[in-house]
Amino acid sequence: MTQKNKKNPPKPMTPEMVQMANAKLMEYLQKQNFNSLEEINEFLRTHINGKPIDQVVPLKKGRKTNDEKSDDLLYQALDSDPKQGLMLVREALKYNPDNVRALNYLGEQEKDVTKAIEIFKKAMEAGARQLGEDFFAENKGHFWGMHETRPYMAAKFNYANCLSAIFKTNESIKEYNEILALNPNDNQGVRYILASDLLYHKKYKAFLDLFKKFDEASAYWLFNYALYLFATEGRSAKANKALIEASKQNKHMIPYMTRQKIIKVEPDGYYSPGDEREAAMYLMENLKTWMECKGTADWLFSFIRKKPS
């Protein structure tokens, strides 16, 4: 007796799909006549749990606008394979050439970094126009808390990353700092990339200013701080202490850097604090900076030999 084929589980929503669904839901909720937060929460509890957005928000009656058609095609693209997704996104941009999320998708699929820069710049400029100068002035410092800012913030982050990749350092640093000014909580993780760039290009004062803004004990943050101290002070007691503290957060990092341990994991963007993937990701982004700082190899081997507690 053969078993029946079970239906394939639904494909997980991408972060961008979640953002689009949330934006659609927020727009719908704002049109309802709720009298209290309790009524909103009750509605969310009884109508949304486990349901796709199209089953929660009623389909719009009448003809859709070009913007709505563009967003519908983009949503389909996000739920498709890259080849089909590109076709759908290009169609979406015919309806709305300034669809920031669609432009971001197009830029992320572009293999030529100079072309990607042009796409992300266009997306960033379109997003800024749509938000408006007054919006920036009123909401600077709180951007990530508003769903309508997310496409612009993603475009600006992607644009900065591309500039960094082709060593347009001053331009990328400017973009990263502007992102942090709009969202000081740094939900996008800009500080890690910016810190690495500042250390690589020996902009030590700027690095220290950035380091002081964030009070965290992550391996990323502490290893960069240890490197900064060594680069500016040499084997000082302060630098040695910083390296000890960093090593406590991830015991794999120094054995990897000194080649006492071979990296066998594949960095894929996901890790847990202190694990081997975190170490592999950090070194993928920062090992060159460590190795080009004169004397770090001897410092690390000395650290291994002394085995400080």
308 φ, ψ (degrees, to nearest 5)? -65, 150
Angle between helices 190-200 and 276-292 (to 10 degrees): 30
> For 211-228, what is each residue's pLDDT tens digit?
999 989 999 999 999 999
The answer on pLDDT for 280 being more than 50 is yes
> For 230-269, what is each residue's pLDDT tens digit?
999 999 999 999 999 999 999 999 999 999 988 888 777 7
What is the set of domains in the chain, with CATH numbers?
A: 70-188 (1.25.40.10), 212-309 (no CATH)
Exposed e or buried b for every residue in 283-309, given b needs 16+ CB within 10 A? bebbeebbeebeebeebbeebeeeeee
pTM of this structure = 0.81
CB 82 within 8 A of CB 111: no
pLDDT at 268: 72
pLDDT at 271: 85
Pick from 182, 14, 217: which is nearest to 101 by CA? 14
205 vs 270 pLDDT, higher one: 205
